[in-house]
Structure 1
Amino acid sequence: MRNVTGVAERTAPASAIPGPGSEPASPHPVPEAGPAGRPDRAVVRDALGVGVAVGLSGFAFGVTSAGAGLSLLQTCALSLLVFTGASQFALVGALAAGGNPFTAAAGAFFLGTRNAFYGLRLSQLLALPRPVRPLAAHWVIDETAAVSLAQPDRRAARVGFTVTGLTLYVLWNLTTLLGALGAEAVGDTDAWGLDAAGPAVFLALLAPMLRTATERAVAGVAVVLGLGFLPVLPAGVPVLVAALAAPVVLWCEGRRAGRTAKGADR
């Protein structure tokens, strides 16, 4: 039997019952590399393209972080230890606006929780050995998830995840360092307009991801909520309020779908 990608799935015999120490089988088997699998060269090319394109935007984070008053060591530590661009931009943006550090951290943490959902899917797709998983978890971000999930088999997914993660991690940290050093050399980043570099890069990365009407609606409502509460709430809090956009839009769409279904039954 072949799945939609045309790669033959390997089915275990009915008698193959997992032992006490083995992991449960996934309800959605992931095909191993087969004759129709993608060549490694093509996967590496795509992964390098994503890693280089996004990794260079670490320069904007370094500039933004230094402009927010963080030291060179603090800026580099964020990229080395946190390594999730949106959360990093949210944190330094809230601090730059004079927000409470705990509020800024809460907003950054909330944005970072999406990586946990990526991890649930990637753990089944990649099926990495246990000793490697804690290290691989640090690279579970938007870009590695997107490249891995786009591959037709497990081998290609592992190659895509590894190359994207390694390229992006190295470049992001290197350009963060360069951006922070450049901001310190420039001095007043506001005078050069570099304080807008972070939000501009974040919007540039976000815009291509809004492919469906629902995603665009969520983004639009989030912008309205964030900007609407910006003048009246402490810095960092509007980000948390904007998170209400997703449940609001989904609730409205559910109500609309329900009315449509009722109308069709009549």
Structure 2
Amino acid sequence: MAEQTAPPQSTGDPTARGSGTEKPDSAVVRDALGVGIAVGLSGFAFGVTSAGSGLGLLQTCALSLFVFTGASQFALVGALAAGGNPYTAAAGAFFLGIRNAFYGLRLSQLLALPRFLRPLAAQWVIDETTAVTLPQPTRRAARIGFTVTGLTLYVLWNLTTLVGALGAKALGDTDAWGLDAAGPAVFLALLAPMLKSTTERVTAGLAILLALGLLPLLPAGAPVLVSALAAPLVLFLKGRGGTTTDDTTTEGTNPGEGR
């Protein structure tokens, strides 16, 4: 009689997604470093853009050290460079950064960090760390991905911000280099693969259309605020039209898929 194979033992990890295999730590670190280094280098573009918008060296570096959310930082300095009202610019950056609070709600459950570490980890809850952390199959892998991405990105972003701000004068006209588009381009590149359902794609497309369409009509910094209305509008229309099969999850589907 052939020897029976014992059933696989459960790891006991409450975050396991049912894939049956654990991702090697080296693979998680490699993915996290790839994202951290690639995005961290774009801090140079922010430093140059910020200095070109009229902010001083200390102001520019303080934004990266304490705000540390690239899209909001670019939105703020972009609005200021366009001559927008500082309060409108700050409001646009604030509302754009609110998304990180929703990321934190999910990551707090997934990472389950000790209470004394949570305030420190909150500083690293951004698009990139969320994108690396959520797909991980286990809590251990999620913690490694979050930590390596956050540390790499934070250090590189702040170093390259400093270099960019110091080198802004040497580059001359920053508009001619198009560096102000680097941050939004990186943000969109990270976001695009995460748009799986029709609802998500329609929401993103409508937000872009609102922002671009209102750009010549509203003060600098205001279009990004109005574009946030795309989400409730799409949800309202979806509710009136009924749930589509594209957004439903069939029974037995791995919950880690389709993120």
Q: Same fold (TM over 0.5)?
A: yes
Q: Residue by residue, what CA displacement relative to the aligned partner does 1:96-127 show, whole Å, maximum 9, x if unpaired?
A: 11111111111111111111111111111111
Aligned counterpart in structure 2 of residue 166 of structure 1, from 151, 155, 163: 151
User: Does the CA contact (< 8 Å) of 2:71 and 2:183 recur in 1?
Assistant: no
Find the counterpart in structure 2 of residue 76 from structure 1: 61
1:227 CA displacement = 2.3
1:198 CA displacement = 4.1
User: Does the CA contact (< 8 Å) of 1:7 and 1:31 recur in 2?
Assistant: no
Percent identical residues:
78
Aligned counterpart in structure 1 of residue 94 of structure 2, from 78, 98, 109: 109
Partner Cα separation in structure 2 for residue 123 and residue 93 of structure 1? 32
User: Does the CA contact (< 8 Å) of 1:119 and 1:137 recur in 2?
Assistant: yes
Partner Cα separation in structure 2 for residue 143 and residue 77 of structure 1? 20
1:188 CA displacement = 2.3
Partner Cα separation in structure 2 for residue 254 and residue 216 of structure 1? 16
After TM superposition, the score normalised by the length of structure 2 is: 0.82
Aligned-partner SS, 2:242 = helix
1:207 CA displacement = 3.6
Match runs of 1:125-164 below 5 Å: 125-164=110-149
Partner Cα separation in structure 2 for residue 51 and residue 170 of structure 1? 9
Q: How many residues align?
A: 236
User: Does the CA contact (< 8 Å) of 1:30 and 1:154 recur in 2?
Assistant: yes
User: Does the CA contact (< 8 Å) of 1:64 and 1:198 recur in 2?
Assistant: no
User: Does the CA contact (< 8 Å) of 1:7 and 1:152 recur in 2?
Assistant: no
Q: Residue by residue, what CA displacement relative to the aligned partner does 1:210-264 show, whole Å, maximum 9, x if unpaired?
A: 343222212221122222222222111111111111111222222222699xxxx
Structure 1 unaligned regions, length at least 5 = 1-5, 12-28, 261-266
Aligned counterpart in structure 1 of residue 10 of structure 2, from 4, 8, 11: 8
Residues 151 and 195 of structure 1, relative CA distance in 2, 3 Å threshold: closer
Residues 37 and 200 of structure 1, relative CA distance in 2, 3 Å threshold: closer
Residues 199 and 47 of structure 1, relative CA distance in 2, 3 Å threshold: closer
User: Does the CA contact (< 8 Å) of 2:70 and 2:183 recur in 1?
Assistant: no
Structure 2 unaligned regions, length at least 5 = 1-7, 246-259
Aligned counterpart in structure 1 of residue 168 of structure 2, from 171, 175, 183: 183
User: Does the CA contact (< 8 Å) of 1:107 and 1:237 recur in 2?
Assistant: yes
Partner Cα separation in structure 1 for residue 178 and residue 15 of structure 2? 48
Find the counterpart in structure 2 of residue 241 from structure 1: 226
Task: State the Cα RMSD in Å.
Answer: 2.5
Partner Cα separation in structure 2 for residue 56 and residue 114 of structure 1? 23
1:61 CA displacement = 1.2
Partner Cα separation in structure 2 for residue 65 and residue 208 of structure 1? 28
